[in-house]
Amino acid sequence: MKAIQFTGKGEARLADLTVGDLPPGHALVQVKAAGLCHTDIDVLHARYGDGAFPLVPGHEYAGEVRAVAEDVTGLRTGDRVAVDPNLPCGACPSCRKGLSNLCRDLKAYGVSHNGGFAEYSIVRADHLHGIGDMPYHIAALAEPLACVVNGLDSAGLRNGARMPEHALVIGAGPIGLLLALSLKAESTQNVAVADINEDRLAFAAELGLGGIVSGAAELTARRRSYDFVADATGIASVAEGMIDLLADGGTALFFGVCAPDARIAVSPFEIFRRQLKLLGSHSLNRSIPDALDILRKDGGSMARLVSHQLTLEEILPFFTRKPTDPATMKVQFAAP
Ligand SMILES: [Zn+2]
Ligand SMILES: [Zn+2]
């Protein structure tokens, strides 16, 4: 089968690989759609995970079941599925607390195990979730959206919780927009999006997101205005700026992936005096089914985040070259 393969740090190629045997408890999935995400680039440069080369990347994917191991029940050939890529150990303190995303030995398809940028992928059957008749390119958004769900859970903003009146998401890339659209879907009244790129902001407005904030100066003018602010840029100085944007009693979510050695300055007095909440959220925590629910209810705005549907050959350069076109949102491998 054809696959994208990372052969070493910074080295990606199109490879011809054998599919391999189907171990007990596993299913063979014909990949129909797989999304590219910044984590893939970090995996390529061994900045995320252990640098388990050679590796087929891709942790955001959906496809059709082509075979199941003999001992697998509840899953059949022909089933349409989305993958939960996380492989927690199940035994460490975090796993026992139900925080599988914080497993101290967390593995994942596309990070430590071969993932979705291939014609086929062998996946544990209990990591497959039925998608019904949902189009594959939408189902492949379930993984990043499940990360958003985990972020909203971390902030206590789901399932009828008291939603913020004014929310702001900084960074209008695919994950920032998924977060903003989810806040809207959870009935946050005013969801603003900030970015320095006008094209991305225009696209956010097209998706029905209001309160567009363009650039640092406009942001500064809105200090202390938001009950909830999330950083989806992963730029430490932007994340630091969230605190000043929070209204008293507000919540800041550190959602973007900042450099591990980056530091920000925070006034503990201000957190105390203004009763602020600073929260983190990492990856997804068995939240693919919740994400699929949101996608089912979404009126097509999330699907519009898929800007490219490419073959494996066409997607290869995206691993090594940063796209310069601001209209590039979610880039996906789409099986012909
Ligand atoms: Zn991702
Ligand atoms: Zn664990």
Residue 160: what pLDDT?
Answer: 67
Q: Which ligand is nearest to the CA of 100?
A: 2
Tell me, in angstroms, the distance from the centre of ligand 2 to residue 108's CA. Answer: 12
The confidence score (pLDDT) of residue 52 equals 86
The tokens of 282 are what?
Answer: 């990492």
Distance 91 CA to ligand 2 centre (A): 5
Which of 69, 76, 156, 62 shows the shortest CA–CA distance to 115? 62
| Together in a domain, 137 and 11 | yes
Same domain for 140 and 186 = no
Are both 309 and 322 inside the same structural domain?
yes
Asked whether residue 28 falls in the same domain as residue 121, the answer is: yes
Q: What is the mean pLDDT of the chain?
A: 94
Domain of residue 221, CATH code: 3.40.50.720
Q: How many domains does the chain have?
A: 2
Task: Decide: 142 and 295 in contact? Cβ < 8 Å.
Answer: yes
Ligand that comes closest to the CA of residue 48: 1
Query: Residue 291, SS3?
Result: helix
81, 193: one domain: no
Same domain, 127 and 19: yes
Q: Tens digits of per-residue pLDDT, 147-206?
A: 999 999 999 888 767 888 899 999 999 999 999 999 998 888 889 999 988 899 999 999
Judged by DSSP in three states, 294 sits in helix
Ligand found nearest the CA of 106: 2
Of 280, 300, 325, which one is at a domain's C-terminal end?
Answer: 280
CA distance 198 to 331: 20
Give the number of other CB atoms < 10 A from CB of residue 268: 7
Ligand nearest to the CA of 90: 2
- Domain of residue 74 covers 2-146+284-334
- Name the domain boundary from 280, 303, 319: 280
Give the predicted TM-score (pTM) of the model: 0.95
Neighbours of 70 (CB within 10 A): 7
Report the separation in Å between the CA atom of 113 and the middle of ligand 2, taken as the mean of its atom positions: 16
Cβ neighbors of 281 (< 8 A, separation 6 or more) are 147, 150, 151, 153, 154, 155, 253, 254, 255
Alpha-carbon distance of 58 to 321, in angstroms, equals 17
Distance in Å, CA 58 to ligand 1 centroid: 8
Q: Does residue 288 share a domain with residue 276? A: no
* Of the residues 236, 255, 280, the one at which a domain ends: 280
Q: What pLDDT does residue 283 have?
A: 95
Strands 128-130 and 120-124 turn out to be: unpaired
Based on the fold, state whether residues 242 and 183 are members of the same structural domain: yes
Tell me the pLDDT tens digit for each residue of 274-302.
999 999 999 999 999 999 999 999 989 99
The C-alpha atoms of residue 61 and residue 301 are separated, in whole angstroms, by 19
188: in domain = yes
Residue 35 lies in a domain: yes
Residue 111: nearest ligand to its CA? 1
Task: Tell me, yes or no, whether 206 and 297 share the same domain.
Answer: no
> For each of the chain's 336 residues, which pLDDT tens digit applies?
999 999 999 999 999 999 999 999 999 999 999 999 999 999 999 888 777 899 999 999 999 999 999 999 999 999 999 999 999 999 999 999 999 999 999 999 999 999 999 999 999 999 999 999 999 999 999 999 999 999 999 998 887 678 888 999 999 999 999 999 999 988 888 899 999 888 999 999 999 887 778 777 888 889 999 999 999 999 999 999 999 999 999 999 999 999 999 999 999 999 999 999 999 999 999 999 999 999 999 989 999 999 999 999 999 999 988 877 878 999 999 998
At 124 the three-state DSSP class reads strand
227 half-sphere exposure, CB direction, 13 A CA radius: 14
Residue 230 lies in a domain: yes
- Which CATH number fits the domain that encloses residue 318? 3.90.180.10
Residues 168, 251, 144: CA angle, nearest 5 degrees: 60
Question: Same structural domain for residues 19 and 137?
Answer: yes
Contact 323, 331 (CB under 8 A): yes
Residue 320: both structure tokens together: 């090594």
Which are the contacts of 200, defined by CB distance < 8 A and separation ≥ 6?
Answer: 172, 173, 326
41 & 129 share domain: yes
**251, part of any domain:** yes
Q: Is 23 within the bounds of a domain?
A: yes
Taking the C-alpha atoms of residue 314 and residue 110, their distance in angstroms, rounded to an integer, is 19
Q: What is the pLDDT of residue 31?
A: 98
Report if residue 151 sits inside a domain. Answer: no
In a domain, 8, yes or no: yes
**Alpha carbon distance 94, 317 (integer Å):** 37
Residue 187 lies in a domain: yes
